[in-house]
Each structure stands twice: as structure tokens, then as C-alpha cells.
Amino acid sequence: MGAYGPVPLAQRAECEIDLTLDTITPVRLVCRICENQIRVDQVEEHNAHCKIAAECCSDPKRTTPQKLELLMNAVTACIQSQNRDDYTLHYLRVLLGITQKGIECCANFNRSVCEDIMDHLKLVIDRNLNNTDPTVSAYANRIRLLLKRDFMLKLTDSGMCTPRSIRTPRGKGNATLDEYVHGEEDNLTMASVARIDDFEIIKPISRGAFGRVWLVRKRATGDLFAMKAVKKSDMIDKNLVNQVIIERNIMAASRNPYVVTLFYAFQNQRYLFYVMEYLYGGDCSSLLESIGCFTEEMARVYIAETVMALEYLHSLGIVHRDVKPGMCACYLHLS
């Protein structure tokens, strides 16, 4: 209806709200690999490149420059594929140049150069947020994360300052570099970089000799995890510091369907936190108490999976030394 009656048909089209694709905000999803928001229409291509970028950084034995070299090779392959538009090709070449400077800065650290590199990477990511080709953002986010970690460690190890007192690059106001590296203002929470604030605690699951385990939900993705909290002072008093470090390293190196996966490891002043996959079935000890005993078929399956887990650990030169029903989770993972 118009102000004084029906709108004439000839004028009605002019009153229609323009709902073209250009004016509609694209629906976004959270990538389970990099945990960044991506457009729904870019999911398939983003996942393909994000997986390659993650594999370039998956080997903990590689140094940051080595991982960056692999990422540069992947970006070069994208440029040579000849199926990119000019805008994307331009920023892929820009990304190569920035990454090369990042590698040089890793070898010869310079704070001002570090700040320039991080600023340029942020600019590249911002200018490609709505690009129809997600290739640039997939690699740029991963490169930026690697350089952030390396620069943060170098600033701290050099004794120039501590994480809580380091000032951010230009334009970041009074925020600390710790907030710049890990904070939400960045919108860059990626696998293996996490804080306790990233998780919502739902309920306690169990309590063991070395700490408590909680069911938690990742705020960014809604995924459920089991979070183990270990008190640092207890580990020091019991002389178990080396054991805790070894346990963390073993879990981080393990990639097997029958061994519990460690997704994140971080700490605060009082606690160490291990964020692991959440297994809905509980452990075999609780299951035995609940049903009395296993059938022959169930026992055969659980024993076979336990053997597969132990065989994998032995192939890595690891001896468990504490195999028991309480350490075997259903469906069955060795913890």
C-alpha cells in the first residue's frame, strides 16, 4: 500500500527491494582445519587448499623456514595452474614475496621488518575476504600463523621483552603482542593455537592421579573435546615433569585411529591443558562394571583394537607400560 492507496503497478517495480547476490551477505561456515569462517560457496575449494597448507606444516621436525618453503611451493603450483583470475594471481605473487621476506626475517630477526611483514599479511587477508577464489586466504592465514609463532618466540627468547609487555605493531593501540598473536581481534584461531577462553566447560568427566578431565565445547566451532587439566605444582612436587613432557610429545606425534588424538596443548600460570578427542563410550572399565562382562565378539573386537594400538606405538619406539581397561576408551582408543 502507498501512503494514500495501492501503489500503481508501474511504480511497484521501483519500490522493490534489490535482493541481488551483490547485496546479500554470504552465508559463512567455520572450517574444521583452520577454524576460520569461509563462504558456503567456497567450501570445496577452500578445504582442498587448506588441507595442503596444513600438511605443509604438520611435521613437527621441520623448522618454520622449511614449512614456509613448502607453502611457497604450494602457492607457486597454484600460480602455474593457469586457472586463476588476474586479481588472485596478483595477490598470490604478493604472498610469495612476503613469505620470502618472512623466511629471511626468521634467519636474521629484525623487529621493524617483522611488524611490516605482519601488517602486509593482514592487508592481503583483508583484501581477499570476499574474493570468489579462496586460495589466497587459505595460504595467507597459515603463513601468518607460522610467522606469528616464530616472531613471538624470538622476541621472548631474545630477552627484548616478555609476552605480556610486548607492544603490538603499529595501529594496534595499547594491546599487547600476546593479544595480537592470540587474541580475538585477529580472528585467527587456528589448530594448535588455543587458550582456555576458547573453550566452554560443560561438566567433569573423570579424575585421575595426574589431574581432572572435563567435557568442553570449542566456542568457535561447537565441537566437543575432552580437556585434561594438570596442576604444575603437583607435577613438580612428584618429580613428574619429564613424564608430563614425554606424554605430551607422544600424543602430539601419534596419528592412528586407535590412539587418542591430541588437538591442542597449552598452559597458564597454574595448569597444563591437554585438549583431546572426546569418546562418547567412556572407558572399558566403566563398561565392564555396567554390563558385567563382554561377549566373546565384543572381547575379540576390543582386544584386536588394543593390539593394533600397541603395535602402532611400538613402531614409534614407545612402550605404554600401563595397559588396563581404564586406559582403553570406547570405541576403542588407547589413552
248 and 130 co-located in one domain? no
> In whole angstroms, what is the distance from residue 166 CA to residue 180 CA?
10
Same-domain pairing of 259 and 293: no
Chain position carrying cell 576460520: 36
- CA atoms of 129 and 134, how far apart (whole Å): 8
- Answer whether residue 77 is part of any domain: yes
Same domain, 214 and 177: no
CB contact set of 187 (below 8 Å; sequence gap of 6+) = 36, 37
| 47 part of a folded domain | yes
Per-residue pLDDT tens digits for 297-310: 888 888 888 888 88
Establish whether 22 is a catalytic residue: no
Beta bridge partners of 259: 334
Q: Give domain status of residue 21, yes or no.
A: no
Can you give the pLDDT at residue 5?
A: 43
Q: Note whether 225 and 182 are same-domain residues.
A: no
259 lies in the same domain as 137: no
Least confident of 110-119, 206-215, 296-305, 309-318: 206-215
Beta bridge partners of 328: 334
pTM (2 d.p.): 0.59
**pLDDT given at position 94:** 92
Q: What is the mean pLDDT of the chain?
A: 77
Hunting for cell 613424564 — which residue is that?
243
pLDDT at 197 over 60: yes
pLDDT of residue 17: 42
Judge if 271 and 316 occupy the same domain.
Answer: no
Are both 34 and 176 inside the same structural domain? Answer: yes
Q: What is the mean pLDDT of residues 230-247?
A: 85
Contact between 283 and 325 under an 8 Å Cβ cutoff? The reply is: yes
Instruction: Tell me what pLDDT residue 69 has.
Output: 94
Which of the two residues, 249 and 172, has the higher pLDDT score?
249
* Sign, CA torsion 64/67/69/72: negative
Which residue, of 186, 206, 234, is where some domain finishes? 186
Higher pLDDT, 24 or 122: 122
Q: Catalytic one among 86, 157, 237, 322?
A: 322
- As a whole number of angstroms, the distance between CA 307 and CA 11 comes to 76
In this prediction, residue 171 carries a pLDDT of 41
Q: What percentage of the chain has pLDDT greater than the value 90?
A: 15
Q: Are residues 251 and 313 in the same domain?
A: no
Q: Tell me, yes or no, whether 166 and 37 share the same domain.
A: yes
The residue among 203 and 333 whose pLDDT is bigger is 203
Question: Would you state the pLDDT for residue 200?
Answer: 92
- Assess whether pLDDT exceeds 70 at residue 20: no
Between these two residues, 191 and 218, which has the higher pLDDT value?
218
Q: Do 84 and 148 lie in a common domain?
A: yes
254 pLDDT band (50/70/90 cuts)? Answer: confident
Report the pLDDT value the prediction gives residue 183, as an integer from 0 to 100: 36
Decide: 69 and 99 in contact? Cβ < 8 Å.
no
135 membership: H or E segment, kind and range: helix 135-157
Q: Do 309 and 216 belong together in one domain?
A: no
Residue pLDDT, tens place only, 49-97: 989 998 898 887 888 999 999 999 999 999 888 678 888 899 999 999 9
Range of the domain at 134: 28-186
pLDDT above 50 (res 164): no
Asked if the model's pLDDT at residue 187 lies above 60, the reply is no
Determine, yes or no, domain membership for 104: yes
179 and 66 assigned to the same domain: yes
Tell me, what's the pLDDT at 25?
Answer: 58
Q: Confirm whether 19 is domain-assigned.
A: no
Question: Is residue 121 domain-resident?
Answer: yes
The last residue of a domain, from among 186, 209, 232: 186
Q: Assess if residue 37 is contained within a domain.
A: yes
Q: What is the 3-state secondary structure (H, E, C) of 260-326?
A: CCEEEEEECCCEEEEEEECCCCCEHHHHHHHHCCCCHHHHHHHHHHHHHHHHHHHHCCCCCCCCCHH
Q: Are 262 and 324 in contact (CB under 8 A)?
A: no
For residue 170, name the pLDDT band (cuts at 50, 70, 90): very low
* pLDDT score for 227: 93
**Residue 10 reports pLDDT greater than 50:** no
145 close to 154: Cβ distance less than 8 angstroms: no
- The identity of residue 3, as a single letter, is A
Mean pLDDT (whole number) for 318-334: 71
Q: Give pLDDT, residue 157.
A: 64
Q: How confident is the model at residue 334 (pLDDT cuts 50, 70, 90)?
A: low
End-of-domain residue from the set 277, 294, 317:
277
pLDDT in tens, 111-128: 888 889 999 998 988 888
- Tally of domains within the chain: 3
Task: Indicate if the pLDDT at residue 272 is higher than 70.
Answer: yes
Q: What share of the chain is helix, strand, coil (3-state, %, to 5)?
A: 50, 15, 35
Asked if residue 22 is part of any domain, the answer here is no
Q: How many CA atoms lie within 13 A of 255 on its CB side?
A: 5
